[in-house]
Structure 1
Amino acid sequence: MQGIGLSLPNRGILFGAISVAEMLDLAEFADKGEYFDSVWVGDGLIAKPRVESVTSLAAISARTERVKLGVCCLATFPLRQPVMFAAQWASLDVLSGGRTLLAVCLGATTERSGGNVVAELTATGVTGRERVPRLEEGIRLVRALWSGPTAWDGQFWSFPEVSLEPKPIQDPCPIWIASNPDPARMPERRYRAAIERVATLADGWQTAVTTPEEFGRKWDEIRTAAQTAGRDPAAMSSSAHLMINLGASRAEARTEGKRFLDTYYSMDSSDEILDRWGAFGTPEDVLTRIDEYLERGLDIPILRFASFDQPRQMELAEQTLLPELQRRRRAVPAC
């Protein structure tokens, strides 16, 4: 295990699950403590609205000194103008002292978010079919802009040579891809393309809503594909966004966890979805579930408290869960 991440519910500000002050306090608490190595926020526009991610991280960077700052994940990346975004993210890297960790993804699906996705795509002038090629071209373009003078003639963007300043402090500035391809629900060619996209374009992989077994199988496939493409799989990292709720019993923790997730994502979570999202129960229950991911090669568990009392969950985690996770980090060499 390489580290432990804290995911802050910046969407929760919209419905009272957390205040701006509480969110910033939690980030500062994580930074000053000994357990968390990274702090993350979510991203969304119309399909899953929330306080904007890059702006949120800028505020968090002013309250922290040590932890990495990430988006988990940047769902609006295919919708954003890449030259403008490259400048924004480079500036964030400079302001934070080189602490950014970018994970980009394709964004919400109509299956999960219904008509809001259609409205989001229509409002931003992007079609559903364009999201994959825009993501791939966008990654290449942003990296080029961060590297030096860039002229571009692509499918979606074309311009004569420009130089972007400032450059990120990190060189290279990491870009991960977040995805959760499901071979049972998509054609084989699309599944293979999703695996190879991470293996060839990304510095790491982030996923969510997946069982430990599924995580391990896909991570093995990504590393194999990376090696086939001539890359060193050991240079890539993996992370999983895990919802947790610590309670006196499984029933108590699952009840609040479900209520939080249903409100946060505007859905009715089944028992299967809850099991795929993460772990709900006593500290021992949650630790056992996280261990199942670690045993299959997970480098960075990113924990979000599925609770309407975020400070209390942080207190419980610091007293019970996090010390045990810290021991696992010391016992297991980084992959």
Structure 2
Amino acid sequence: MKFHLAINLERMSPETDMREVRDHTLEMVKMADAAGFEIAWAAEHHALEMTIAPNPFQILTWWGEHAKNIRLGIGVVNAAYWHPINLAGEAAMLDLLSDGRLEFGIGSGAYQREFDRMKPGLDQRDSWRYMQEMLPVVLKLWEGDYAHDGEFWQFPTATSCPKPVQQKVPVWVAARAPITFDYAVEHDCDILSWPLTMPLSEVQTYRRRLDEAVDKAGKPYKGTWAVMRHSAVYETEDDRKAAMGSIRHVLGQFGNLMMKKGEVINGFPEQVPLEELDGNARVDPEMLEENLMFGTPDQVVEKLKAHEAVGADAFVYYASMGMDMAQQKRSLQLFIDKVMPEFAEKEMAHAG
């Protein structure tokens, strides 16, 4: 199993120094790079302090200058917010500046609140149509001159400047729905799945959808399937309680954005009162600890092996969940020191 890191520039209150957030994020990426993580992922979001990522290409170019081996993943760009020529050029520039480390992820977005500001009039549930038109256009622009007359974009002959350094850029699609698995398999894309706070059975459902998509396509699937989880590794009761408090706070904000139940004030989402979410699978503490990649090193190893048994090729350690920065580093270091070696030995045994 390969390991990836997803981390946001994340500010939970106005009192937090933005420069401290900046420096912390880079330190985490450098830790992952030194430990042999395969990919570092940066998201795209707008006008939200909990995910400060107006341009993931800018973030990844910066990371790539300081972390020299880890690959640089867009996780993911929202197709509806971009013009194809602009997107193709930005992505190719990152590939050029990083000597061919771009992992190009594209998706359909998450929050209707964000669409209301970035693409007024577009229902988030319809945004997959933009993604499915965008991706082939970007690939054509990377090849050379191309003119496009589509539903959402039209332009005369143009090309991407620069072109990617890689002969074939890995392309990732964020997938949960069957239609997106079908699209990813049909177009030979890698797949990034995030089961949110749902149990392992949700991951098993995704695996069935992937297998059904492969059967429908009638051809072998050679791509990578990566599963992302909020992650916290701890050895003390204090860290355990702090991790649980942090994730519940973040999920209250997430509930605000997904259900549009609260305000966002100067970039900070109000937390939906937990009493409104109690009983909901998103915030029940016992369920969260069981479903997320939370636990002692031994417990996390066991959970990872269960994900591996379902068929996940890679695990994305999602570090951003409101924990204080020192605890984030402790958690990642425990993962590096006490979890990853269990899988490195297995990889070596297979190689032998």
Same fold (TM over 0.5): yes
Match of 1:59 in 2: 62
**Residue 295 of structure 1: SS of its match in structure 2?**
helix
**Residue 41 of structure 2: SS of its match in structure 1?**
strand
2:106 maps to 1:104: yes
Q: C-alpha separation between the residues in 2 aligned to 1:312 and 1:160?
A: 52
Match of 1:163 in 2: 159
* Alignment map for 1:22-41 (pairs within 5 Å): 22-33=24-35, 35-41=36-42
2:222 maps to 1:204: no
CA 196–273 in structure 1, closer or farther in 2 if over 3 Å, else same: farther
Post-superposition CA distance 1:215-262 (Å, at most 9, x none): 2332243244235324421x111001121111225x655533333334
Aligned partners of 1:137 and 1:154 also within 8 Å: yes
Q: Name structure 1 gaps, 5 residues minimum.
A: 182-191
Length-normalised TM-score, structure 1 = 0.83
* Alignment map for 1:176-195 (pairs within 5 Å): 176-181=172-177, 192-195=178-181
Aligned partners of 1:176 and 1:202 also within 8 Å: no
CA 318–174 in structure 1, closer or farther in 2 if over 3 Å, else same: closer
Match of 2:138 in 1: 142
Aligned partners of 1:146 and 1:164 also within 8 Å: yes
2:335 maps to 1:317: yes
Match of 2:283 in 1: 270
4+ residue runs over 6 A deviation:
none
**Residue 4 of structure 1: SS of its match in structure 2?**
strand
Shift of 1:142: 0.7
Match of 2:6 in 1: 7
Counterpart of 2:40, as a letter, is V
**Residue 165 of structure 1: SS of its match in structure 2?**
coil
Match of 1:87 in 2: 89
Shift of 1:4: 0.8
Shift of 1:127: 4.1
Counterpart of 1:298, as a letter, is A
Shift of 1:104: 1.7
**Residue 216 of structure 1: SS of its match in structure 2?**
helix
Shift of 1:80: 1.5
Match of 2:278 in 1: none
Counterpart of 1:295, as a letter, is A
Q: C-alpha separation between the residues in 2 aligned to 1:315 and 1:153?
A: 50
Q: C-alpha separation between the residues in 2 aligned to 1:257 and 1:46?
A: 25
2:61 maps to 1:73: no
Q: C-alpha separation between the residues in 2 aligned to 1:132 and 1:287?
A: 35
Counterpart of 2:213, as a letter, is A
Q: Name structure 2 gaps, 5 residues minimum.
A: 255-273, 275-281
Length-normalised TM-score, structure 2 = 0.79
* Alignment map for 1:266-305 (pairs within 5 Å): 266-267=253-254, 268=274, 269-271=282-284, 274=288, 278-305=292-319
CA 154–30 in structure 1, closer or farther in 2 if over 3 Å, else same: same
Q: C-alpha separation between the residues in 2 aligned to 1:275 and 1:240?
A: 17
Q: C-alpha separation between the residues in 2 aligned to 1:285 and 1:252?
A: 17
Aligned partners of 1:10 and 1:42 also within 8 Å: no
Match of 2:46 in 1: 45
Shift of 1:120: 4.0
Post-superposition CA distance 1:171-195 (Å, at most 9, x none): 22121111223xxxxxxxxxx4233
Aligned partners of 1:196 and 1:222 also within 8 Å: yes
Shift of 1:303: 0.6
**Residue 280 of structure 1: SS of its match in structure 2?**
strand
**Residue 110 of structure 2: SS of its match in structure 1?**
coil
| CA-based RMSD | 2.7
Moved more, 84-93 or 265-274: 265-274
Q: C-alpha separation between the residues in 2 aligned to 1:80 and 1:14?
A: 30
Match of 1:189 in 2: none
Shift of 1:64: 1.7
Shift of 1:292: 0.7
Aligned partners of 1:14 and 1:50 also within 8 Å: no
CA 131–27 in structure 1, closer or farther in 2 if over 3 Å, else same: same
Aligned partners of 1:46 and 1:117 also within 8 Å: no
Moved more, 274-283 or 52-61: 274-283
Q: C-alpha separation between the residues in 2 aligned to 1:156 and 1:89?
A: 20
2:244 maps to 1:258: yes
Aligned identity (percent) is: 20
Partner of residue 175 from structure 1, selected from 167, 171, 179: 171
Aligned partners of 2:248 and 2:283 also within 8 Å: no
